């Protein structure tokens, strides 16, 4: 039988123990644990959710990896590459790549009777993955790209439709400036809204054959290829391997291929997201410190209240290590109760925010219209184990006070 655990349970669970072990300071200690764990759960869930949502929106517009002409600058007026069946077969079988799609871009000016706006016309082919825009479609429908027929239908953002007074079914003119000014008429088949205003302000999605015709390209020529990987955590090594695999390859026109990950194409956004991890670490350390110090004060009060019992146990031959175990067990019960409430509060708030979007955000600043949450079972388990272990380790020092208690004096202690 575990004598220390038996005595600790008697102290904590007995009616007498409840009266003595739960004064206001002990309740505050448990509240500190509960509040600290709840804040940590919310912090991790919000930051992970925020990073995931922003990352997915950037990837939705640009995929995981882009292959373009090595001589390209950073503008949307790209020098084309010629895509052969051999290159597509090579990419389809490349380790880690699950989908390949062609795209072409052209800068233009969308004009209506009341206003005008600069846009990027992004042409997509029959192999395009519409899942991102389908999930963010607010009105209308996605147009169909046919291999043998050019479509004049497009989808554009709600930002552009509201700015220019357009709706589904309307037609508009877009002007493209090159050696000469050319106009094209398009019809709106759908309106999307991602909340990522930096891109919503720009992109109008159209048939790639329209962009090829504007640029004077052949049917094999495109601005680039967009590749999706099967595991985002392996994006960097896959992009690096692909870069070197394409280093010696050229298209039929002698152009060299240039493979870049979405992180390289948008370094400022992804560096900003990485900085958020530092904020989470700071919050976790602060919350653990607050919870730990409140439990230290609670343990010291418990030891002072049980000074008489400690003296009697020492007089009966119980050693310091055994008595320390008793109070560490009591602390474990208190921490466990605080963590139970912390999990209940933290997970409940996450579920409420996830389903009802109570806390709103300004999309022009945060790229999202509501605070996102994403809490996995593994993250929740790690937070609980980390809080428990850190709190118990912090209590090892204060429990050494038991070694200083003299049995002869403590038995008379009131």
The band of 122, judged by pLDDT with boundaries at 50, 70 and 90, is very high
Look at residue 72 and tell me whether its pLDDT is greater than 70.
no
Percent of the chain with pLDDT over 70: 96
Amino acid 293: pLDDT: 87
pTM: 0.86
Amino acid 28: pLDDT: 83
> What separation in angstroms does the CA of 316 have from each of 4, 307, 320, 366, 378?
14, 14, 12, 65, 46
- Phi/psi of residue 193, each to 5°? -150, 110
The band of 17, judged by pLDDT with boundaries at 50, 70 and 90, is very low
Is residue 410 exposed (0-12), middle (13-18) or buried (19+ Cβ within 10 Å)? buried
**DSSP secondary structure, 394-411, as one string:** HTHHHHGGGGG--HHHHT
Q: Look up residue 81 and give its two tokens.
A: 């590459």
Compute the distance between CA of residue 250 and CA of residue 246 in angstroms, rounded to an integer.
8
Is residue 379 classed as helix, strand or coil in its secondary structure? helix
């Amino acid at each position: 039988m575990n004598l220390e655990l038996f005595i600790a349970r008697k102290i904590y669970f007995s009616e007498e123990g409840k009266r003595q072990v739960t004064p206001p300071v002990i309740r505050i200690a448990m509240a500190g644990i509960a509040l600290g764990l709840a804040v940590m759960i919310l912090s991790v869930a919000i930051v992970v959710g925020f990073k995931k949502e922003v990352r997915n929106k950037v990837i939705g517009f640009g995929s995981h990896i882009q292959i373009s002409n090595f001589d390209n600058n950073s503008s949307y007026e790209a020098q084309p590459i010629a895509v052969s069946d051999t290159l597509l077969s090579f990419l389809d079988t490349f380790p880690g790549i699950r989908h390949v799609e062609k795209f072409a871009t052209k800068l233009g000016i969308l004009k209506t009777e009341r206003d005008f706006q600069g846009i990027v016309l992004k042409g997509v082919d029959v192999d395009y993955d519409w899942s991102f825009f389908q999930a963010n479609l607010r009105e209308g429908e996605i147009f169909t790209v046919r291999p043998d027929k050019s479509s004049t239908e497009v989808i554009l953002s709600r930002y552009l439709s509201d700015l220019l007074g357009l709706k589904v079914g309307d037609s508009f003119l877009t002007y493209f400036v090159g050696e000469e000014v050319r106009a094209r008429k398009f019809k709106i088949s759908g309106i999307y809204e991602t909340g990522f205003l930096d891109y919503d302000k720009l992109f109008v999605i159209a048939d790639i054959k329209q962009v090829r015709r504007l640029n004077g390209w052949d049917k094999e020529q495109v601005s680039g290829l967009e590749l999706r990987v099967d595991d985002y955590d392996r994006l960097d090594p896959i992009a690096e391997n692909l870069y070197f695999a394409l280093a010696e390859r050229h298209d039929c026109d002698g152009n060299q291929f240039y493979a870049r990950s979405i992180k390289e194409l948008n370094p400022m956004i992804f560096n900003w997201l990485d900085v958020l991890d530092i904020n989470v670490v700071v919050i976790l350390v602060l919350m653990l410190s607050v919870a730990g110090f409140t439990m230290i004060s609670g343990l010291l009060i418990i030891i002072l209240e049980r000074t008489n019992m400690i003296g009697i146990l020492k007089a009966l031959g119980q050693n310091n290590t055994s008595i320390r175990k008793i109070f560490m067990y009591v602390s474990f019960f208190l921490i466990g109760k605080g963590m139970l409430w912390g999990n209940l509060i933290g997970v409940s708030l996450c579920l409420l925010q996830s389903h009802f979007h109570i806390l709103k955000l300004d999309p022009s600043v945060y790229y999202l219209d509501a605070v996102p949450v994403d809490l996995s079972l593994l993250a929740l388990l790690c937070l609980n184990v980390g809080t428990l272990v850190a709190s118990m380790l912090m209590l090892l020092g204060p429990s050494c006070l038991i070694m200083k208690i003299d049995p002869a004096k403590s038995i008379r202690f009131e």
